[in-house]
Structure 1
Amino acid sequence: MIELSDFDAITTPRQLLYYEIDMALQARLGRPTNVTAPRVFGRGIAHLTAGGVRNSTRPTDERADSEDKTSDIRAPIHRQFEELLLRAGPNTHARVGLPLDLINWGDLFVQHEASVAEDIARRKIPRAELLPAVIHSDFNDIAPAIRDRVTAAGISATEVAESLGGVGLLQIVESLPTRRVTNALRVSKHLHPRPHQKWKANDFIDVVQLPVPAVYCDVVFTEQQWVRALTREKDDKLDERFDTKLIFEPEQLVEVLVAASL
């Protein structure tokens, strides 16, 4: 992946979620008054982790985001340190005293989606109403992030309740671009009866990481099941909404690369 990307990286889903919530609150409540868009694409582990991990051998780059940074971490010494940081695993982290997050998020994700499926089956939710049901469950997942951004914007709980209410809050979740993709991916599994859903722990990585490139990249190469999930609705094809070309066959990737080189 290092050779393929040459250290080009996408920011964390959390950074973009906060930005999208801020934009939604501004559109509905007029605050926060100033919303700064995060830099989606950058270079190196510092950008990949939103500043959580840095290459301490390289001075902080204080140039404006708009300035050229193509020379970043291309010097051999910086490249080697950066690669060591990216390759570091739990054992390395433990040796240098970094806290380890040993929670098995994939298994927890499968358990969560199984419980959502049970609720959908119990309530006998029809196919046409699956998306609203999944969005409702998603609200519970991102409620802490919404509370954080409401507080940061200086908006009171009373104002949220009076101006938005429960329906308005769900509409905010539905309007967030990356969450719209997240929930389309989730709905694609819930379209099938529970015995045939076959949620896997690895699905957690796709559902967390795929929404950002699906919204902000020009081309995304992913699994066929996810391409179908994002292009299933005739009246709301998400690849068209976000102007992103979604492909799943190697031949398509070759065609895209050839076209880009012309």
Structure 2
Amino acid sequence: MLRVYLDQNKWIDLARAATGHSSGARYVDALNAARAAAAAGTASFPLDMFRYAETGKRANERSRNDVADVMIELSRQHTMALGRDILPAEVDGALKVRYGRPGQPRQVEVFGVGARHVTKEGVTWPELDESKLRAAAGDIPERHYPEIQKIYTRLIEEQVLRAGPEVVRAAGLNPDTRHIDQQYVDYENMIGSEIRARGLAGDMIDLAVRASDLGDIRTAVTEALNRVGLTWEEFLEDLGPGGVVGFMDDLPIRYVTNVMRSAKLRQAEQKWELNDFNDILALPVAAVYCDVVVTEAQWEHRLTQGKIEARYGTKVLRSVADLADILAASPN
């Protein structure tokens, strides 16, 4: 099965094609090819946490549901884990390469079904009460109840994806994440300022970016080190400055993350934007674990520069229109 990850604006392109919008005309062939592949089970279009979040931010109900309709149809509720939940397994793998332990690195299910998978059961809802259903419709044959349970779950899952800002507020949450996004922009701007103040260039920028990222994932690395009998201090001493880049690049998702960060930090004229935060969190997982990633031009360029296809076998595209040929060439 070919796993295809679509960035938010690419889902919007397909939604426009599905609703007959004039700007979606050039994507109709891709939409038809994607529908055929999803129906045949030859391609999967997994959603991640950020597709739920960005779709839910759309205040216009019709627009939000147009996008959700296509997501529901093509994804078939296939979902993809967050990078933070995959990280422990990747750290174990890198330690195994370096130290020969742990003997059994942790494993993770990257792909699953529904919001419960992507949130590690963080999103829950009441189970179908079969006793009440039987009382209300006692003539339903027992053999039909498993299918009724599936229908109930599917409908709830659809409503989770369709939920807009008003539903999020009613649940006591703040749908506006701009303050979090701004904190990330400020952090990257601080790193960029340090790089320029120190006059870093070339490999030294790579080292600075990887070193800052190692600090960011210290908790996860320390926990993994404890499992193999090493302390953080012992690890840093063994690693040395020259080993930081190598170790961080042995963590697939972090490698892609830092390819993206390094490329942008090298170009001070390109400012960090609020939506870059979601891209930095979402695209690396897809770039490592999916077969095809369709994203905006700046990230397609940077992922191509980082030789992501050669490293992980992932095809990176900038237009969803190109999916038609990719899906047609995929073996059934």
Report if the CA contact (8 A) 1:31-1:155 is conserved: no
Q: 1:246 aligns with which of 316, 319, 326?
A: 316
- Structure 1 window deviating more from structure 2 (161-170 vs 24-33): it is 161-170
Q: 1:54 aligns with which of 109, 115, 124?
A: 124
Structure 2 partner of 1:82 = 157
1:161 CA drift (Å): 4.6
Structure 2 partner of 1:4 = 74
Structure 1 partner of 2:101 = 31
Where do residues 97-108 of structure 1 align in structure 2 (5 Å cutoff)?
A: 104-108=179-183
CA distance in 1, matches of 2:245, 2:152: 49
1:133 CA drift (Å): 2.0
CA distance in 1, matches of 2:148, 2:240: 48
Where do residues 166-245 of structure 1 align in structure 2 (5 Å cutoff)?
A: 166-192=241-267, 194=268, 196-232=269-305, 237-245=307-315
SS of 2:106's partner is: coil
CA distance in 2, matches of 1:158, 1:72: 54
Which amino acid in structure 1 is aligned with residue 182 of structure 2? D
CA distance in 2, matches of 1:238, 1:147: 28
1:114 CA drift (Å): 0.5
SS of 2:217's partner is: helix
1:191 CA drift (Å): 2.2
Q: Does 1:15 align with 2:90?
A: no
Report runs of 4+ in structure 1 exceeding 6 Å deviation. Answer: 71-74, 97-103
Cα deviation per residue 1:190-225 (whole Å; 9 max; x = unaligned)? Answer: 221x3x221101000011010011011111111111
Structure 2 partner of 1:66 = none
Which amino acid in structure 2 is aligned with residue 18 of structure 1? P
Which amino acid in structure 2 is aligned with residue 174 of structure 1? D
Q: TM-score, normalised by structure 1?
A: 0.81
CA distance in 2, matches of 1:24, 1:133: 20
Bigger share in helix: 2
Where do residues 61-140 of structure 1 align in structure 2 (5 Å cutoff)?
A: 75-88=150-163, 92=167, 95=170, 104-140=179-215
Structure 2 partner of 1:148 = 223
Report if the CA contact (8 A) 1:214-1:244 is conserved: yes
1:258 CA drift (Å): 2.0
Question: Cα 1:99–1:126, aligned 2, differ >3 Å: closer, same or farther?
Answer: closer
**Which blocks of at least 5 consecutive residues in structure 1 are unaligned?**
60-70
Which amino acid in structure 1 is aligned with residue 110 of structure 2? V
- Structure 1 window deviating more from structure 2 (28-37 vs 3-12): it is 28-37
Report if the CA contact (8 A) 1:46-1:55 is conserved: no
Question: Cα 1:155–1:7, aligned 2, differ >3 Å: closer, same or farther?
Answer: same
SS of 1:104's partner is: helix
Higher relative CO (Cα under 8 Å, sequence separation at least 6) belongs to: 2
Structure 2 partner of 1:62 = none
Question: Cα 1:58–1:6, aligned 2, differ >3 Å: closer, same or farther?
Answer: farther
CA distance in 2, matches of 1:76, 1:203: 36
Which amino acid in structure 2 is aligned with residue 20 of structure 1? E
Which amino acid in structure 2 is aligned with residue 210 of structure 1? L
Q: Does 1:258 align with 2:331?
A: no
Please tell me the root mean square deviation across aligned C-alpha atoms, in Å: 2.9
SS of 2:330's partner is: helix
Kindly tell me the number of residue pairs found equivalent between the two proteins: 246
Which amino acid in structure 2 is aligned with residue 45 of structure 1? A
Which amino acid in structure 1 is aligned with residue 231 of structure 2? S
CA distance in 2, matches of 1:53, 1:169: 36
Q: TM-score, normalised by structure 2?
A: 0.66
Structure 1 partner of 2:235 = 160
